[in-house]
């Protein structure tokens, strides 16, 4: 089971960490649920962990 780093950081894994949500990896190689990051980038287009500008490298499960 994948655990989104953003969900863990905000202790919302039960609410945001849906098993059916696709995982995205940024150019910085950090990974998050796509549903979490789509909300995050609306306010801040940077990786929540390293603050590098967010750009999707790949998507998967």
Residues in the chain: 61
Contact 54, 41 (CB under 8 A): yes
- Give residue limits of the domains in the chain: 5-60
Given the candidates 3.40.50.1370, 3.30.40.10, 3.40.50.1980, 3.30.365.10, the CATH classification of the domain at 5-60 is 3.30.40.10
Residue 46's pLDDT is what? 94
Q: Which residue has the tokens 């390293």?
A: 50
- pTM for the whole structure: 0.71
- What pLDDT digit, counting tens, does each position of 11-32 carry? 554 544 456 778 899 999 998 8
Q: Which residue has the tokens 């750009």?
A: 55
Q: Which residue did the predictor score with more confidence, 20 or 42?
A: 42
Mean pLDDT of the chain: 79
Residue 35's pLDDT is what? 85
pLDDT at 8 over 90: no
CA dihedral (38, 55, 11, 21) positive or negative: positive
CA distance 56 to 61: 14
């Amino acid at each position: 089971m994948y655990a989104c780093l953003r969900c863990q950081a905000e202790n919302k894994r039960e609410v945001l960490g849906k098993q059916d949500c696709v995982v995205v990896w940024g150019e910085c190689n950090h990974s998050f649920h796509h549903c979490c990051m789509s909300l995050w980038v609306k306010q801040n287009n940077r990786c929540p962990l390293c603050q590098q500008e967010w750009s999707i490298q790949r998507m998967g499960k």
